[in-house]
Amino acid sequence: MPSFDIVSEVDRQELRNAVDQAQREMGQRFDFKGTDSSIEQNDLIITIKTISEEKARAVRTLLEEKFVKRGMSLKGIDWGKFEQASGDTVRQVVTIAVGISSDKAREINKLIKEKGPKGIGSQTQSDQVRVTGKKRDDLQATMALIKGADLGIPVQFENFRD
C-alpha cells in the first residue's frame, strides 16, 4: 500500500552555516562595531547577546535573511523574549523546533480526515505522521493539502513508497 511520512526537521548543517555567515557579517558591518554583539549556537538553541533590543532586532533580521537564503523555513523558529543580562546587555534565546508535537499531529490527522481524499488514512508515529492510501494520486493530493495548510511548523515529506 503506498505511503509517505510527514516530518518536521531542520538541516543542522545549513543551520550552522547560516549562523556562521551571520557572525561573519556582524564582524564586518559598521553598525555592529563596538557593540560586543554575538551569536552562540548550542545544537538547536541560539543565543543572541548585544547592547540593546534594537541591535538584537537587527541581529534577528540578519539571521532571518541567512536562514531564508539557505532554504530554511522560518515557521519552526521560536524567538524568545528579550532578557536583561549582565553588564547592561540584552539576551534573546532562539529555539528551533524539530519534530511534530502530539497536538500538531492531531491537527494534521484531523485535517486529512476532514478535507483529504477518501481512502486516505493517517496515524501518528512518535514525532512524525504516516499517511497511507490506495492510489498514488490521492497521496499527492494529500501532500498538496498539507502544504497549503498553515500549520505553524515546517513540514517535509519523506519515505514515499509505491
Instruction: For 99-135, write each residue's pLDDT tens digit.
Output: 888 888 899 999 989 888 888 988 898 888 999 988 8
Specify burial of residue 34 (Cβ count, 10 A radius: 0-12, 13-18, 19+).
Answer: exposed
Instruction: For 149-158, write each residue's pLDDT tens digit.
Output: 888 888 889 9
Domains of the chain: which residue ranges? Answer: 3-8+99-161, 12-96
Q: What is the CATH number of domain 12-96?
A: 3.30.70.990
Q: What is the CATH number of domain 3-8+99-161?
A: 3.30.70.860
- With CA atoms as reference, report the closest residue to 146 among 33, 5, 1: 5
d(CA 80, CA 75): 14
d(CA 68, CA 144): 22
Cell of 75: 515557521
